Amino acid sequence: MKELFTSRWVWGILVAVLIAAGGAFFDSPASAPRAGFNLGSRDERAANTEHISDETFSGFEKDFGSYFIEQGWLESEELSRPGVFFYLKEGTELDKPTSNISVSASENRYSAEEAQLFARAIDQQLREQISSDVAEYFGGGSFTENGYPLITMTIVAADGIRTVQYYIVGDYRFVMVHLTDFNDERILDAEAAALSIVNSFVWAD
């Protein structure tokens, strides 16, 4: 997989690396990190929605699109608000803080073909916002299993708290799946749950 960019710097050492592969950023379809399962084609998922929703995944349909999340994760009515939907591991709803995933949609000025430009804009914004307690930051690009351009940004704080932002890119719009992982030993599937959303997502139109 050719990457749009990979940028990484470690505070204290102040090392910054920006790698841009020749040609297109997105090289091969369905090259996003896998969560250990294959959702299959859109038609296959549509034919098996009831089975998947009941036994393996929970399905959600929003105005902007639909997606599945692994069973054991619940949509939080307390934390969710219009346009932003939060998911918590079952049994950790009362814990503060706790690892969580949010899903939101927004518009931008980039087409799907301009995903590389969008990624660079995100990278620049994050560089300006990241504080000195960040130990590591890196990003890259690929595709979801449904063929949508995917931008992934990871921020690791000095205390080990990890934030991962997944941007699913459409024409002049995007969905962000935002994972905050507090490294709770009881929640070992936070990244897999976030990726189940990313790789199952289908735009509403």
Q: What is the pLDDT of residue 13?
A: 22
How far is Cα 4 from Cα 156, in angstroms, rounded to an integer?
A: 21
Q: Is residue 107 part of a domain?
A: yes
Q: What are phi and psi of 70, to 5 degrees?
A: -55, 145
**What CATH number did the domain enclosing 107 receive?**
3.40.1000.10
- Is 1 inside a domain boundary? no
> Would 164 be classed as within a structural domain?
yes
Which parts of the chain have pLDDT scores under 70? 1-55
Domain holding 66, by residue range, is 6-203
- Assess if residue 166 is contained within a domain: yes
- Residue 118's nearest CA partner among 30, 25, 204, 32 is 25
Q: How many CA atoms lie within 13 A of 158 on its CB side?
A: 8
- pTM attached to this predicted model: 0.74
**Angle, vertex CA 13, rays to CA 11 and CA 15, nearest 5:** 85
Task: Provide the number of structural domains found in the chain.
Answer: 1
CA 63 – CA 103 distance, rounded (Å): 12
Please state, in angstroms and rounded to a whole number, the distance separating the CA atoms of residues 79 and 86: 6
Confirm whether 11 is domain-assigned.
yes
pLDDT for residue 12: 24
Neighbouring C-beta atoms of residue 142, cutoff 10 Å:
21
pLDDT, residue 204, reads 96
Q: Which residues contact 141 (CB under 8 A, 6 or more apart)?
A: 3, 4, 5, 25, 26, 115, 116, 119, 149, 150, 151, 152
Cβ-contact 102, 198 below 8 angstroms = no
**149 in any annotated domain:** yes
What is the pLDDT, as a whole number, of residue 55?
Answer: 59
100-153 pLDDT, tens digit per residue, is 999 999 999 999 999 999 999 999 999 988 877 788 999 999 999 999 999 999
